[in-house]
Homo-oligomer: A and B are copies of this chain.
Amino acid sequence: MKSTVHDIARTAGVSLATVDRVLNDRPGVRAKTRERVMNAMNALGYVRDVGAANLARGRRYRFDFILPDNENTFMLSLRTELETAIKHAMAERVQINLVLVPAFDEAALVAALDACTAHQPDGVAFIALDTDPVRAACQRLTQSGVHAVTLVSDLGHSSRAHYVGIDNGAAGRTAARLLGLFANGTKGAIAVLAGSLQVRDHQERYDGFRTAMQVDFPGREILPVLEGLDEGKRVEKLVRDLLAHRQDIAGIYSLGAGNRGLVEALAAAPAHADRPLVVAHERDGITAQALRQGLIHAILAQDAGHEIRSAIRVLKASADRLAIVPGQEHIRIEIFLKDNLPQSDCRNLAETE
């Protein structure tokens, strides 16, 4: 039950060093000897003490996290969760370096990745822009021996070891079903609001949404996408215009940020009219309150804390060449209705977009 390397060495009739060699399969052990040690190991049901091993090894994990300097609530909460994680991580011998880059700036992201390649940490987590230069930079990084994971937005056909984030296509399809079912019995059209279809997450959500809508709720008109560039002001104008020009909007799917504008436009709409059914992304002070007030009817979200912690665990596992627990690292699409909103999110009231 509680056997140590000493026990193995003794029952196998070898020395500690030899046990260590087979344990970390290093060269320099005769096949015969190796086998003897192996037998002793599972005879005693040995499980190595990782803590002691890391202590002796003096191992220190160094990870770089590249995040955009965006000021929207989601990115902010990602940064907040990272700060928290950094503190906890220190006690577990992992050191995390936060690198901020301008948002949506391909050159900056490539430069940051190349800087990591030079810096040679044990691992890197980054929010990808899905372009070839980024793919190439990622390739350089991993080929130099650094483990890389993508966060929130993936990099297709790349050398990243893992993607930490939700399935955006599924999110779009889920939104379609929610809206389709909620709008059951109504006749109006559905409007879609995105930041920009140039961004991969948004594109994937939109594709999923449109496809599912067409398949499962045929006959429901989907209006052309409105691109609000994730800016509250712009989004507000778009929605105001929309609601002013068309009286028959049955539902709205807001798949990007800038929900402040959406909510304000909805609130300004005449109360006696049938309000459109609204599904939006990301839970923050604004969307949560709108959900409570009935301006929004469902929120799809991803848990920033979970994503950060998962990224660290995955990076650590990669560094140690250990397997991960798939169930633990699956990032769920969270669905919030008025009723399952955590009571405790009055804290997040300091939001921007």
Contact = CB atoms under 8 A, between A and B. Distances in A.
A327 interface: yes
Given A93-B51, A181-B181, A332 B330 contact: no
A297 interface: yes
Given A49-B55, A52-B55, A182-B182, A340 B91 contact: no
A50 interface: yes
A212 interface: yes
A176 B90 contact: no
Given A50-B91, A342-B330, A182 B181 contact: yes
A267 interface: no
Contacts of A185: 184-186
A245 to B, nearest CB: 25
A339 B297 contact: no
- Per assembly, the copies of the chain total 2
Contact of A309 (B49, B84, B181, B328): B328
A47 B306 CA distance: 24
Interface stretch (A103-111, A119-127, A129-137, A165-173): A165-173
A257 B238 CA distance: 47
Contacts of A182: 181-182, 184
A81 B90 CA distance: 28
A45 to B, nearest CB: 9
Interface residues of A toward B: which range? 35 or more
Contacts of A339: 170, 173-174, 176-177, 208, 212
Contacts of A6: none
A333 B340 contact: yes
A266 to B, nearest CB: 17
A214 to B, nearest CB: 13
A87 to B, nearest CB: 8
Given A174-B339, A182-B182, A332-B332, A55 B47 contact: no
Contacts of A54: 51
A297 B178 CA distance: 10
A276 B132 CA distance: 49
Given A297-B181, A335-B335, A90 B51 contact: no
Contacts of A47: 90-91
Given A49-B93, A181-B182, A309-B328, A340 B55 contact: no
A173 B328 contact: no
A20 interface: no
Given A48-B91, A303-B332, 4 more contacts: A81-B327, A181-B182, A212-B339, A332-B340
